[in-house]
Structure 1
Amino acid sequence: MKPTAKKPDLLRDNELIYGRLLAVDEPHLIQRYNKALVAFGLEPTRLKSFQIDRTGFSPEIAEECGDFDYLDPNEVNRRFIILTPSQIDLPVVHTAFSNTSQLMFEFMSKNQRAIDALTIKDVIYGEIEDSVPKVNDIEDLLSINQVEFKVLSAEDVLGKAAELGRLVDRLKQEPDAWRDNAMLQRMVDLAKICGDIRENALVPDQVIFRHNAYWTSHFGGLYVFVDPDMTTVICDPAAPGFRRSRPWQVSYLSINDADK
């Protein structure tokens, strides 16, 4: 019997969806990606090649694990995986918030030196952490004033760089610290991993960002516009909290008004 031909996917084949993604096919990058997946409590991929977007989301891995929200399990506190600084030029193809792409761009731009240095030896992963663990009503969305990037690395290069920095400070501040051979050896060992932390900024230091306008897929699609004097919410009136959450502060518009 002839093998069954793969059914063509015209949208994907013509890059109408999932276009301009980055191919990941080098074993060491796949290994690093798997370390991030395991850190998130997910199964490592068995794929030998896949594509990723700016956040590290892969449609192939989503299909493999049967979960397109594997990096966004509650559609809030979005996870990210950074294998290479070049991800900054990629689109975001799957997200519950329209500002995810811009937040990732700002984070990667503001911390470019650290990301350049870290991804030479390690994978960066973490969460874009909001103030709520889950969105149950409009009030939860209104309570999100800013986000903070919680950043980790699989080989703990971030932690080792911070430890080396503390030891350097101790060496400078304590007159007899240079006599501590164990400490000096530890500094040498850490420097082999982190390099010269005076030149290499390994710890991202700009991690808090604010956005005043976004769309979210929650409640069938909802828009939030934050102005100094008034916040505007546009959504389906059936959304929980519509015209009940912060009525003194929020102007509510029905998304159905456009049909009238």
Structure 2
Amino acid sequence: MQKLKAANLYRSELIPISGKLVERYNQCLTKLGFTPTKLTNFSIDGIGWSPEIAEEKKEVYYLNNGDANPHGIIISPLQKGKPVYNPFHTFDRDMMQHVFRTHGDKINDITRDCAICIDFDQHIDAFYEPLDVLKYNDVVIRFHLINDLDKIQKQQLQLVEKFKVEHNFIDEDLHEQLLASAKAHGDLRNRDLNLHELHFTTDSFYTKAFNGVYVLRDFITPIVVFEDEKWYKEAIKDTIHEVIIFHMSQPELMEKLRDHVIIEYDLEEVVKTKLYERIKKFMLSQCLKDTQHPIKDILNDNVLFKSYLNKLDIDTRKKVMSVELYLEKLEVSNQYKIADIVDVKLFNALHEPHSSLDAKHQDLIWKLLVNISPMDVLFLYWYDKEQFYVTYNTWDESLKDWVIEVISNNI
């Protein structure tokens, strides 16, 4: 990952945490029912998730009490606008933006000497069946301060009011209580520590529950797509919910997405795009073995690209160039079918969200498409960074250099 880090492409916006903030973070973990970290230095993202703590605990989603009960931690106003690097749901960052948009000023004040635990209450105690993900609807976002600072403020205000009554201003015991509270927690009289609960309504989304599920419910008919075959087989036993269920690998999925006006393709137009060039080059790179030139040079140099393309066996060459071969044949006769000529994975990779979708839905569908056919390295990085990082580690060093160059040139 060093090359990615050097190019600022690997979790470059994490916030470093040390000193007093570590203590507050641990208080949050304890309050949420988790064990504290033993680390003295770590970093966090916008929702308070730390890759170092995840590694320490050997649990990526260590801020979850089961799949149905995710949490967040705010210990710094610097978390505002920061990425959520390993979201459990695609709407996690939207929820954090909602939090800071509504309570930003209060968060700035509170995190001077306190920290905030966030409970994302989906009104689901636990998941029991895979289609329980359909219960996602209204998420109530609740806030809890460590050390119950808001409750201590109420106690302090009660002492102040008591001080004002009759001759209580000469009560030495009351003086001591006020001074003790002020020394321990500061003067809380004029601070606004009330973070009222927020509501966030979900629509279509992706969740890591049940090893990955897409819920598309803003279209003609609700569609649920499972990444895990085990949970897909369990879900299709359901006879209650009126939804269409697919596994990610089913060919019928792409057809259904086209029929429901969720995705579209235009091969004649897409071959003119940089997206197609990236996919074609990546596809060639996966076919090359024992090259005399670095992969990066082969993909960037048109002469070398053609040279190595022609070194491939005829079937592999046809596979890489299948779209262009199809379009050439189509000019002669319309009897040819895409399925007979174009490689399936390549064809799937050349789809895009339907132009009628709004931006939020387009992002979700792009994520689905790059998961179905992860052949565009740029979009894989944009829409599924965690999968990108996993795949990146399997690539040739020179291919990594090309990928980093591609991404860096498009940021």
TM-score of Structure 1 vs Structure 2, range by shorter chain: 0.7 to 0.9
Please, what TM-score do these two structures have when normalized by structure 1?
0.77
Task: Name the counterpart of 1:150.
Answer: 142
Indicate the structure (1 or 2) with the bigger Cα radius of gyration: 2
Q: CA deviation at 1:46?
A: 3.1
Residue 198 of structure 2: aligned partner: 207
Q: Distance in 2 between matches of 1:208 and 1:52?
A: 24
Q: Give the conservation status (yes or no) of the 8 Å contact 2:153–2:188.
A: no
Counting only pairs closer than 5 Å after superposition, residues 36-185 of structure 1 correspond to structure 2 as 36-164=28-156, 179=168
Residue 157 of structure 1 and its aligned partner are, at CA, apart by 1.0
1:28 to 3, 12, 20: 20
Q: How many residues align?
A: 244
The residue identity in structure 2 corresponding to 1:235 is V
Structure 1 counterpart of 2:241, from 219, 224, 246:
246
Report if aligned partners of 1:51, 1:59 keep a CA contact under 8 Å in 2. yes
Contact 2:215 2:223 in 1 (8 A): yes
User: How far apart, CA to CA, are the structure 2 residues paired with 1:105 and 1:242?
Assistant: 38
| Cα distance in 2, alignment partners of residues 23 and 245 from structure 1 | 48
Q: CA separation of 1:129/1:186 partners in 2, compared to 1, >3 Å: closer, same or farther? A: farther
Higher helix share: 2
| Alignment partners' CA distance in 2, 1:154 and 1:30 | 13
Distance 1:252 1:142 in 2: 12
Output one character per residue of 1:209-258: Cα deviation in whole Å (capped at 9) or x when no partner: 2222211123343223455x9772331353526763432xxx42535334
Structure-1 residue corresponding to 2:323? none
Which segment is superposed worse, 210-219 or 28-37?
A: 210-219
Output the amino acid matched with 2:117.
Answer: Y
Cα deviation 1:73-122 (Å, max 9, x = unaligned):
41232111111112012101112211111111101221122211210111
Instruction: Note the aligned Cα RMSD (angstroms).
Output: 3.3
Partners of 2:174 and 2:142 in 1: how far apart? 29
CA contact (8 A) 1:72 1:95 kept: no
Higher RCO (Cα < 8 Å, 6 or more apart) = 1
- Name the CA shift for 1:61/1:178 in 2 (closer, same or farther; >3 Å): farther
Once the two structures are superposed, residues 149-169 of structure 1 have per-residue CA deviations (whole angstroms, 9 ceiling, x without a partner) of 23222222122234456677x
Query: Equivalents in 2 of 1:46, 1:87: separation in Å?
Result: 22
- The 1:130/1:235 distance shift into structure 2, 3 A limit, reads same
| Structure 1: runs of 5 or more not aligned | 1-7
Unaligned runs of 5+ in 2: 227-231, 256-411
Residue of 187, 209, 225 corresponding to 1:235:
225
Is the 1:138–1:245 Cα contact (8 Å) retained in structure 2? no
Query: In structure 2, do the counterparts of structure 1 residues 164 and 49 end up closer, same or farther at CA, with 3 Å as the change threshold?
Result: same
In 2, Cα distance between equivalents of 1:146 and 1:189:
42
